[in-house]
Amino acid sequence: MKTDDASINDAIEKYINLIKSIKDEDSMNKVRENIVNFSIKYGDYLDNKKKQNDYLIKAVINSLSQIAKDYDPSKYWQESFQHIKELLKSEITYSVLENINTIIKNLLFSTKDTKEIVYKELSEIIFSMLDVAIEHEKASEYKKELLALKKEIYFNSSLLNTYSVRESIKKLIEKKEKLEDEYFNQLQEKLKQAVKALTYVMNTFTKDINNYGDIFQTHIDQIDSLVNVESIDVDEMSKKFIGIAIKIKESTISMNNKIKTLSETIQKSKQTIEELQNKLKEAQESLIIDSLTKVYNRRGLWHFLEYEIEKARRYDKNLSIIMCDLDTFSEINNTYGHQAGDKVLEVFARTAKSLSRGSDIMTRYGGDEFLIIVPEANLEQACQFAEKIRTETEKLKFKYKDKEFHITVSLGVVQFRLKDTIEMFIERADRVLYEAKKTRNTTSKETI
């Protein structure tokens, strides 16, 4: 009947000593009554302890369920679970359950902290990727929505529903693409109108020049006719010459003013056209260039691959693609941080691009996956190129603080078939890459 409650243990010892000291029936009846009362209290104590144990067990189960959703196999977690295992090997008492519950509560709090840190890092990445730098009337409205999502992710991460966040980001991506397309089309239209306006001004000026030439020729003809007149009064001729001279002067001044105005108009139009061309170039780059690696993004991939497929079909040319995936990239991010991961992506893209021909097209397919379009190359030629990328990637060295690390890449190579759509072509490359990823640091090619 020993318990972990000192007062109850003292009472038990007391009644045991009383029973030993009984000498008569009256003493026995008195002790018996006290023991009955104590038994009732002890029963209540046991019921209460059972309820406490049940509550703790339920709390442990609930906590474990929550942890299972956000499990992070860090060293701290592993050590904590190891401690729980050791506790469970001993006798399961209330104090043991309390210890387990404390450990699990700490794990739960660390889960929330970890989750918040991850969400905050993600919010920064999402914000930089989804931000737009365009002059469009709808851009300010879009930026407000983006900022609102960032704040929600940043300050309420523990309360967020993953599905709703994903849907919000998806909607923003769609809005961004639509916004950029509208802005790009708007710039193209403005450029078209600016060129059209300049052309109109130039055509008008050409007509003015022709008119001025006609007027000037008329004045010359008038002078010639006066000179050829045999008998004319000198004063009258002088007056007519002066009249013609005044008209020539007026026409010339008018023409000079038009030339000056035209020069200013041309200069302004030229400046406007140059500004629009620069904005159009920037917009075009933001649409198809990946901001981090400076290679083409997925939109650029679709554009160029569609063109190369059409060319391969029309002229019966070879065409291959190489899909690349950096091995253990998530581990690099987890170990050294996202900045180190970004550096790895930049260096790999630059390295692969430096090995390519002028006609090869390097694109970022997504995350740590890249896709290279290799025009006029068969499977073997593309494989040789892929092997160059693989071996050069092995040689790359990265340093984070005092630690040095290396990366490897897996590559899948396929050749275009006449029946291929873009989706089918990429899907085959993805399947071949999957085979390469099984062993890592491998180049796999499709079996023809």
Instruction: Give the DSSP letter string of 221-241.
Output: HHHHHHHT-SS--HHHHHHHH
pLDDT at 334: 79
Instruction: Read off φ and ψ for residue 292, nearest 5 degrees.
Output: -80, -55
- pLDDT at site 412: 96
Between CA 147 and CA 132 the distance in angstroms is: 12
- Pairwise CA distance, residues 132 & 87, whole Å: 54
pLDDT of residue 189: 82
411, 386 Cβ separation under 8 angstroms:
yes
Tell me the HSE value of 376 on the side-chain side, using a 13 A CA sphere: 6
Q: Which residues pair with 415 in a beta bridge?
A: 320
Q: How high is the pLDDT of residue 348?
A: 96
- C-alpha distances (whole Å) from 209 to each of 190, 198, 206, 268 are 28, 16, 5, 21
DSSP assignment of 245-303 equals HHHHHHHHHHHHHHHHHHHHHHHHHHHHHHHHHHHHHHHHHHHHB-TTT-SB-HHHHHH
Pair 53, 97: CB distance under 8 Å: yes
- CATH homologous superfamily of 298-445 equals Reverse transcriptase/Diguanylate cyclase domain (3.30.70.270)
Cβ pair 400, 431 in contact under 8 A: no
Q: Give me the tens of pLDDT residue by residue for the chain, a chain 448 residues long.
A: 445 556 666 666 666 666 666 666 666 666 666 666 666 666 666 666 667 766 666 666 666 655 555 555 566 666 776 676 666 666 666 666 677 777 776 766 555 555 566 566 556 655 665 666 666 677 788 888 888 877 777 666 655 666 677 777 778 777 877 887 787 778 778 778 877 877 777 777 777 777 767 777 777 777 677 666 666 666 676 777 677 777 777 777 777 777 777 778 778 878 888 887 777 777 777 778 888 899 998 888 988 999 999 999 999 999 999 999 999 888 888 788 888 888 999 999 999 999 999 999 999 998 899 999 999 999 999 999 999 999 999 999 998 888 889 999 999 999 999 999 999 999 999 999 999 998 989 999 988 6
* Interacting residues of 403 by C-beta distance below 8 A, sequence separation 6+: 336
Residue 37: predicted pLDDT: 64
Query: If you write DSSP's letter for every residue of 59-113 in order, what string do you get?
Result: HHHHHHHHHHHT----HHHHHHHHHHHHHHHS---HHHHHHHHHHHHHHHHHHHH
